[in-house]
Structure 1
């Protein structure tokens, strides 16, 4: 802002001095602000893994003359010692020094070969991620990407190096970088018609997707695995069970039912797997119950599977599991307004819980019966059920106050 000389003349001496100081400060701040705008700091400082200064541990500059095998072996021993030193510093709480030593080790590991460097980057990367050292993780990830770029020119790629890269990306929690590496491995092993390696790679890809809750991609990968294991019931069971879990987590009951029905067919063919039908039928019943919210006619399929779960558990004398199925049935009867059926099933539940010696389950069953009678406004029967629940609550020293409150709440109505 230009200054009017006539304004200065009209000022007193002290005012002129103060004005000059303020003007000078404002000018300096303006210049400083402009210089700061033109020079933005980097998000991350230069990587310590890219320092090229000579290191005393190197007998000479390897870029000009590669190290001999004997020199590499001697260097490897010294680098292992650096790792131990860094580990000790880290354990003692001196993390800054620890990572400085590790970075020196990592810079030198490249002279022992690509695989040795990747494995070291993977090891330190895992420590950095677990300790929330974001900057160190960034350095290591950038170095891994640089190595990957260097190896891309190799056709076909070295499977051992690619596998190490994929693992390293997992250690620094970069699934978006790990998956393409495993996809490259998958392409190569398929070209080689190595079915065992193909399955192993697909399993790894599926685990990466699952680890990051990418259920659609995990499901897609397991479907591929299923196609590779036709005629292998035990392996198919593993993949089908994993798929059922994935579809359950992804809230896809329709797909879940399809997979679980395949499991039912397999379990029914093997008497050693019959006990698994109990939980499986319960899960299918829950799937149908969810689907029935949009398609009410499917509610009967939910009833059918809960009943089959109970019947199987009863035949196997698995009374605790039978109680789970009965509780599902009672809840479903109540939600559909079938209180008579709910009460009848509750009586069976009482017998089942007694056989299971499940006193907590008995107490809960009496509470449930009491609630059904309250809904029907049959208060004397409700009080009778709550009193039996109270007796068990006293023995268990649990929920006594609750049952007393239930009885007190409906006692006036019972006398009318």
Structure 2
């Protein structure tokens, strides 16, 4: 993940630098940074008028032009397939210039398509041209005043949002989607509001902006809860739990995980409870490092994870919960409780036919008996562990050494 973040940051910096230089008004830079090929206004044989002519094309002219532009797209794709990227993008740039005559939405959709190709072909200059053109269209599409929502073209804004995502420009994409959100809220379009919030949340997540993602999914959660939408309520709670885990916010994670547990229990959906209780216990264990009084909550939730998993015959999860309990008991000096849990762990690993786990359980028992200086019991546990180690051809030397040490002890 770190490498991906570095790569994204590097590319974003390069694009940002390119945009800054390209927008320079210094005439001395004109030759070094030529104008975008998408802004060229030279008349084209495919269009019987100047781009400055504001008179729209007739329906027949539009149909002819659309067919011709589709052919240009195919020609460009063939050139790229043949390995001639330069010519391919020259053709695509011509197509994109002329798409303007078919309306903003058609142009943005074409920019989106070619922009994704440019990104995948690692062509930052072309991505820059397309991003600049999208920004021009965005500026023209947004109303001068925030209150003028009625004049907003939602279809165009959504197309812009998709296009920005294709060229990996999250900031302008979010600007566009926030404009969409403000508009659909004013229109009281609940379905569109949820759809837009989901898009915004996913965009924040894709760029690892977890705080903003959490804020968005909290809004979605409140929306689903208020409408009794249990299916989406569960989905948003899961998403929030994952975000809070990734951002190491154990208390926030516990809050949403407990809500999930309540929902599962109310619906008699016990299958997911062991994993959920295990996660809650783990978060309490993290909090207990600063507040030891919360360690009891970790104990209780690990115990619930173990007992529920055992009842559901989820032996692997039951074993994992018991291992956590054993470690906690041992850290608190509760050796008797740790031994009892270890004996149960042996039964669970036998049920799960997990010989590696069984071997490790005998090792834990041996170590616990050593702490109590009950050497005969420790020796028995290590001998059972050795038998399994020999079958598995794993850790034989370790168990042999433990047995040799005990054999020299006068007990």
TM-score interval, smaller chain: 0.7 to 0.9
Following the alignment from structure 2 to structure 1, what is the Cα–Cα distance between the partners of residues 292 and 31?
Answer: 60
1:332 counterpart = 2:328: yes
Flag the 1:389–1:107 CA change in 2: closer, same or farther, 3 A: farther
Number of the residue aligned with 2:123? 133
Q: Is the 8 A contact 1:373 1:381 kept in 2?
A: yes
Deviation at 1:54, TM superposition (A): 1.9
3-state DSSP of counterpart to 2:47? coil
1:316-354 per-residue CA deviation (whole Å, 9 max, x = no partner) reads 222222112112212222333333322221110110111
Following the alignment from structure 1 to structure 2, what is the Cα–Cα distance between the partners of residues 177 and 153?
Answer: 16
Deviation at 1:191, TM superposition (A): 0.8
Q: Is the 8 A contact 1:379 1:414 kept in 2?
A: no
2:38 to 41, 49, 71: 49
2:201 to 202, 206, 214: 206
The answer for unaligned runs of 5 or more in structure 2 is 1-26
1:248-267 alignment to 2 at 5 Å? Answer: 248-267=245-264
Task: Return the TM-score normalized by structure 1.
Answer: 0.84
Flag the 1:337–1:123 CA change in 2: closer, same or farther, 3 A: farther
Q: Is the 8 A contact 1:89 1:97 kept in 2?
A: yes
Q: Is the 8 A contact 2:390 2:396 kept in 1?
A: no
Number of the residue aligned with 1:215? 210
Flag the 1:347–1:133 CA change in 2: closer, same or farther, 3 A: same
Deviation at 1:260, TM superposition (A): 1.1
3-state DSSP of counterpart to 2:109? helix
Deviation at 1:74, TM superposition (A): 1.4
Q: Is the 8 A contact 2:278 2:301 kept in 1?
A: yes
Q: Is the 8 A contact 1:44 1:135 kept in 2?
A: no
Following the alignment from structure 2 to structure 1, what is the Cα–Cα distance between the partners of residues 66 and 345?
Answer: 69
Q: Larger deviation: 67-76 or 143-152?
A: 67-76
Following the alignment from structure 1 to structure 2, what is the Cα–Cα distance between the partners of residues 242 and 42?
Answer: 50
Following the alignment from structure 1 to structure 2, what is the Cα–Cα distance between the partners of residues 343 and 41?
Answer: 79
1:144-177 per-residue CA deviation (whole Å, 9 max, x = no partner) reads 0000111124743100001011111111111111
1:319 to 315, 322, 325: 315
Q: Is the 8 A contact 1:207 1:218 kept in 2?
A: yes
1:226-237 alignment to 2 at 5 Å? Answer: 226-229=221-224, 230=226, 231-237=228-234
Deviation at 1:305, TM superposition (A): 0.2
| RMSD (CA atoms) | 2.3
Number of the residue aligned with 2:271? 275
Flag the 1:383–1:105 CA change in 2: closer, same or farther, 3 A: farther
Flag the 1:344–1:74 CA change in 2: closer, same or farther, 3 A: same
1:280-312 per-residue CA deviation (whole Å, 9 max, x = no partner) reads 100000010000011000000000000001111
1:93-104 alignment to 2 at 5 Å? Answer: 93-104=83-94
Following the alignment from structure 1 to structure 2, what is the Cα–Cα distance between the partners of residues 137 and 187?
Answer: 28
Q: Larger deviation: 367-376 or 314-323?
A: 367-376
1:104-146 per-residue CA deviation (whole Å, 9 max, x = no partner) reads 1111111111001101111111122223221111111110000
2:75 to 85, 91, 98: 85
Flag the 1:343–1:50 CA change in 2: closer, same or farther, 3 A: same
Number of residue equivalences? 376
Number of the residue aligned with 1:403? 396
Q: Is the 8 A contact 1:386 1:403 kept in 2?
A: no
Number of the residue aligned with 2:11? none
The answer for unaligned runs of 5 or more in structure 1 is 1-37
1:239-289 per-residue CA deviation (whole Å, 9 max, x = no partner) reads 111111111111100111111111111111111x21111111000000100
1:183-198 alignment to 2 at 5 Å? Answer: 183-198=178-193
Deviation at 1:363, TM superposition (A): 2.7
Following the alignment from structure 1 to structure 2, what is the Cα–Cα distance between the partners of residues 414 and 90?
Answer: 75
Number of the residue aligned with 2:296? 300
Task: Return the TM-score normalized by structure 2.
Answer: 0.85
Number of the residue aligned with 1:289? 285
